[in-house]
Structure 1
Amino acid sequence: MKNPISSLKEKITQYIQLRFELARLEVIERLVNVMGYFAFMIIAIFLVFLIIFFVFLALAELFNQWFNSYALGYFCTAIVILICSVFVFMASKSIIRFFAGKLAWLLTKQKDEKRMRDDADGSNA
Structure 2
Amino acid sequence: MSIFGSLKDKVTQYIEVYIKFFKLNFMGSTAKLLSYVMFTLICMFIVFITMLLMGLGILEGFVEMGLSRVGASFATMGVFVLILGIVFGLRNNITNFFAGTFLKILTEDHEEDDDKKENAKDK
TM-score by length of 2: 0.90
Matches within 5 A, 1:11-22: 11-22=10-21
How do 1:21-60 and structure 2 match up within 5 A? 21-60=20-59
Q: What stretches of structure 2 of length at least 5 have no aligned partner? A: none
Provide the alpha-carbon RMSD of the alignment: 1.6
* Gaps in structure 1 of 5+ consecutive residues: none
Identity of aligned residues (%): 26
> C-alpha separation between the residues in 2 aligned to 1:11 and 1:120?
26
- For residue 114 of structure 2, what is the aligned residue in structure 1? 115
Structure 1 runs (4+) deviating above 4 angstroms are none
2 CA distance for matches of 1:121 and 1:4?
Answer: 30
Give the Cα–Cα distance (whole angstroms) in 2 for the partners of residues 15 and 122 of structure 1.
19
CA distance in 1, matches of 2:76, 2:50: 15
Find the residue that maps to 1:67 and give its secondary structure: coil
- In the aligned structure 2, how far is the partner of 1:21 from the partner of 1:54? 50
The TM-score, its normalising length taken from structure 1, stands at 0.89
Name the residue aligned to 1:96.
95
Between the two proteins, the alignment pairs up a number of residues equal to 123
Aligned to 2:6: 7
How far did 1:117 drift? 2.3
Compute the displacement of 1:68 (Å).
Answer: 4.1
